[in-house]
Structure 1
Amino acid sequence: MFGQPTSPRFRAVLAGTLSAGLVFSAAACGDSGDDGDSASTDASASSIDCSPYTKFGDLKGKTVSVYTSIVTPEDKPQIDSYKPFEQCTGVTVKYEGDKSFETQVLVRAKAGNPPDIAFVPQPGLLKQLVATGKAVAAPPETEANVDKFWTKDWKSYGTVDGKFYAAPLGANVKSLVWYSPSEFKDSGYAVPTTLDELKALSDKMVADKKKPWCAGINSGDATGWPVTDWVEDFMLRLYGPETYDKWVNHQIPFNGPESTAAFDAVGAYLKNDQYVNGGLGDVKSIATTTFQDAGLPILDAQCEMHRQASFYAANWPQGTKVAEDGDVFAFYLPGKDASAKPVLGAGEFTLAFADRPEVKAFQTYLSSDTWANTKAKLSSGWVSANKGLDPNNLKNPIDQLSAKILLDPASQFRFDGSDQMPAAVGSDSFWKQATAWITGQDTKTTVDNIEKSWPK
């Protein structure tokens, strides 16, 4: 479905989607439907250049253990994507997916029983794992791949205290707005290229007696996270990546003028009765509407737009065509001007706890353009920021759009802020206070309460 679990928030996303019984139609997204055995066979049988792995010596009969939060059914494309490496080297990759990964990987590392490689979905967790003293720095071959195929922004998230540990793996894009292409065409609406144009478009929709936006933030124990994504997107757009980094790392206070302005900018959309909540209710209905249901009124033209990540593609009903000429598609949430390309997103990183030759060889494979393109041919709902990825290998239009955004040389990628903040803030007070804000709490009280919760 989503392709890459990224956080406790993501597990709530996945569980909620499955419980809602909503199915992502691969055919509707342009997927050929070949995710089964034929695709696996093609990928595993395809020839790759084995020479990058010969320098690690004779690896036949060796085993590398991989531990991750990516579980059934998303695990199959992962496992299949390792076959070319296994055939090249004679290494067996032992895969273990666990829904309790974030908790258990720390337990295992501290107990001296870590896996060879862990797919870590948060920079904050990566830092905690490095702090155990059990993680090892990435080999030079892996770092060379990252320098070649990723931007410095991405490399920085795998770097702790100046030492490079973990190459990026998969990614998702959060800076997207879902809409109906046919509704836009019939109404004469153009996709906006600046924040001012986005606001003007919203006003035009109101003048046309339409509700511009629909939204929902209910996600069980994780209720509130969609608001934090909105705030993070606007912090990044209003103040740029450097200030965003200071905000995430608490180098500027959470109740400073920047946070206040970001909340107020979001409020101009989400707390505006004229703008929301098409097909669902008033402003307060945002807090009670599940995020899975929030965008569905677009299909009935009850609302025009829904800001949500690329993984929302999984929530459209069976048979919905997700494409530029389909029932729904998405556009990039614009920056302050057309040249600014701030991108909010998430992803995983490959952290090793062993420096055996076979582990280094596998890290090098996973950081290569070879693996990225092999994985792309096997998966739907997966993308990477690897610059060697050929977007034509991706399975559906929303993946291709995400890759275009991520691989744009002008893009300034920043990882989800709440996933980097201390848990007491990122997955607690920020979510809860943002929910209270949606239901009527004022901005000052909201940012003051979040600031008070920051660990001393």
Structure 2
Amino acid sequence: MNTTTRRRGLATLASAAAMAMVLSACGADNMGGGGGGGTGGSSSAAGTDCAAYEQYGSFKGETVNLFSSIREAEADQLQDTFTDFSECTGINVVHNGSGEFEQQVVVQAEGGNAPDLAIFPQPGLLARMVKDGYVVEAPDAVEKNVDEGWSEDWKAYGTVDGKFYAAPLMASVKSFVWYSPKLFADKGYEVPTTWDELMSLTEKIAATGEKPWCAGIESGGATGWPATDWIEDMVLRQGGGDLYDKWVTHEVPFNDPQIVAAADMAGSILKNDAYVNGGIGDSRSIATTSFNDGGLPILDGKCYMHRQASFYEAQWPEGTDVSPEGQAFAFYLPGKTADEKPLLTGGEFVGAFNDKEATQAVQAYMSSGDWANTRVKIGGVTSANKAVDPANASSDVLRLAIELLQDKDAVARFDGSDLMPSEVGAGSFWTGMTQWIDGADTKTVLDQIEASWPAS
């Protein structure tokens, strides 16, 4: 689940920094102008060229509240994307991030205290908020940006019952295995290109008495989500895109034998004490290890591989050499053959709880190619927006992620738990996987998740 994140981002709880400084808007004020306010391409007092922001209008001293599950360093980076926008439009974008986003956004909406905008890591949760009458349709400017910059599949994730509500924001590749190229070279290990090669390498490392894998699924109120990603990747490798699609839409039940087999495929690693949890404990320690700490034993040579998304790059300590020959890098989690390329992806979607003009201006900016390139340049993330120049990616890993996202041969599917009804995808699936890691039987857990699927 982009992420977030957020649930897909940093797992420790922290409030995001809010932008407190609002400089004068460019040119004459166009109070209430949602788009196209004329600044004449003038510069702000700080010297920013405001021509690119004319289309969003001018709002002197207005505030737009943005809520997400993005926290700590990544929250600061998100805030930085609004610096010039705020100078030129006068809109103070105040972002708050919470590790309990999935629960709190519902509580706030039901209590009449919804934010202006929210970044949803799960289309399933977005759909729930739409059907409950809280999220409003996206304005034409946002839909135009999405039609130009994103594929129909990505637009569909922000569409509910044929109406468009939320633009994609960022994207991530989930099907990655983090490792140490330097450690691999020292030990004479090669990057596997098929699933059988991956398991042979796993067995080879374990035969030395070392632990080939490390993992962590603790993430505050979202504990369990990293294990759901494992299951989703295995369903793609077990039955391809067709099985995956039917499972996500519940045409194939959660406790179907094919899904049981996929879970056991993940369990052959995650529940095997000979394979995990290097540098931390036995297999059950995965449940209490935070997802951001899960791969760090690689740096000490206490484990060799950690399956986690492209955004995990932000978790390596400052000064870590993240490069193809360095201390940490990632390879594609292989399919059954070298030619098969099942790819699990994640992302986030910006939905609005009102149609105020300032809210729509921020929503339109966040859906633009300009915003996407600004965010990618700042670093640590990638995007499937067609306007993004891969050269703007801040690392080799993120450039690799963009290449995978743009690979037409890849069987790419969005994070399944994020597409499922939130009661399952952000509820019973998370808790069930935590119980599973803690020793519960696969079939028992999947039966429980299946029983939790809403009747309508």
The reply on whether 1:399 has 2:398 as its aligned counterpart is yes
Matches within 5 A, 1:375-386: 375-378=375-378, 380-386=379-385
- Residues 106-154 of structure 1: per-residue CA shift (max 9 Å, x gap): 4554566644433223212211221233433223332232223222232
Deviation at 1:280, TM superposition (A): 3.6
1:203 is matched with 203
Letter matched to residue 187 of structure 1 = K
Shift of 1:207: 5.1
Name the Cα RMSD after superposition. Answer: 3.4
Show the counterpart of 1:302. 302
| Alignment partners' CA distance in 2, 1:50 and 1:284 | 52
AA partner of residue 449 (structure 2) = I
> 2: CA distance between counterparts of 1:106 and 1:288?
26
Q: Conserved in 1, the CA contact under 8 Å of 2:234 and 2:265?
A: yes
User: Residue 128 of structure 1 aligns to which amino acid in structure 2?
Assistant: R
Task: Describe the shift of the 1:76–1:63 C-alpha distance in structure 2 as closer, same or farther (beyond 3 A).
Answer: same
Q: Secondary structure at the match of 1:171?
A: strand
Q: CA deviation at 1:235?
A: 1.1
Letter in 2 for 1:407: Q
1:249 maps to 249
| Structure 1: 5+ residue stretches without partners | 19-40
How does the TM-score come out when normalised to structure 2?
0.80
C-alpha separation in 2, matches of 1:391 and 1:448: 43
| Partner SS state of residue 327, structure 2 | coil
Matches within 5 A, 1:329-344: 329-344=329-344
Q: Distance in 2 between matches of 1:4 and 1:441?
A: 26
CA distance in 1, matches of 2:104, 2:435: 32
The aligned runs of 1:224-373 (5 Å cut-off) are 224-355=224-355, 358-373=358-373
SS in structure 2 opposite 1:418? helix
Bigger CA drift: 340-349 or 355-364?
355-364
Q: Which moved more, 1:324-333 or 1:410-419?
A: 410-419
- The aligned counterpart of 1:409 is 408
TM-score (norm 1): 0.80
Inter-partner Cα distance in structure 1 for 2:169 and 2:374: 13
**1:141 alignment partner in structure 2:** 141
Q: Which residue number corresponds to residue 438 of structure 1?
A: 437
Higher helix share: 1
CA distance in 1, matches of 2:113, 2:216: 41
Number of residue pairs the alignment of both structures matches: 424
User: Which residue does the alignment assign to 2:449?
Assistant: 450
Instruction: Give the CA deviation at 1:230.
Output: 0.8
Contact 1:68 1:120 in 2 (8 A): no
Aligned counterparts of 1:377 and 1:118: Cα–Cα separation in 2 = 22
Tell me if the contact between 1:120 and 1:126 (Cα under 8 Å) persists in the aligned partners: yes
Pairwise CA distance, 1:253 = 1.0
Tell me if structure 1 keeps the 8 A contact 2:130–2:160.
Answer: yes
SS at match of 1:14: coil
Comparing 187-196 and 272-281, the one that deviates more:
272-281
CA distance in 2, matches of 1:15, 1:425: 23
Paired amino acid for 1:396: S
1:340-372, Cα deviation, whole Å (9 max, x unpaired): 433324332121344455544443332222111
Percent identity for Structure 1 against Structure 2:
51
Paired AA for residue 399 in structure 1: L
Instruction: State whether residues 183 and 327 of structure 2, in contact with CA within 8 Å, keep that contact through their aligned partners in structure 1.
Output: no
Secondary structure of the structure 1 residue equivalent to 2:432:
helix
The C-alpha deviation readout for 1:68-102, integer Å capped at 9, x for no partner, is: 124555444333323444455x3424324142654
Contact kept? 1:136, 1:165, Cα under 8 Å: yes
| Cα shift at 1:391 | 2.6
Q: What residue ranges of structure 2 are gaps of 5+ in the alignment? A: 17-42
Report the Cα offset of residue 231 of structure 1.
Answer: 0.8
Instruction: Provide the C-alpha distance between the structure 1 equivalents of 2:114 and 2:435, rounded to a whole number of angstroms.
Output: 40
Secondary structure of residue in 2 paired with 1:384: coil
The one-letter code of the counterpart of 1:303 is C
Cα contact 1:112–1:134 (8 A) shared by 2: no
8 Å Cα contact 1:138-1:165 kept in structure 2: yes
* Matching of residues 4-83 of structure 1 within 5 Å: 5-6=4-5, 9-10=7-8, 13-15=11-13, 47=49, 50=52, 54=55, 59=58, 61=60, 63=62, 65-69=64-68, 70-71=70-71, 73-83=73-83
> Is the Cα–Cα contact under 8 Å of residues 64 and 116 in structure 1 kept in the other structure?
no
Deviations 1:375-405 (A, max 9, x none): 2233x32222212112322333433333333
- Which structure is richer in relative contact order (CA contacts within 8 A, separation 6 or more)? 1
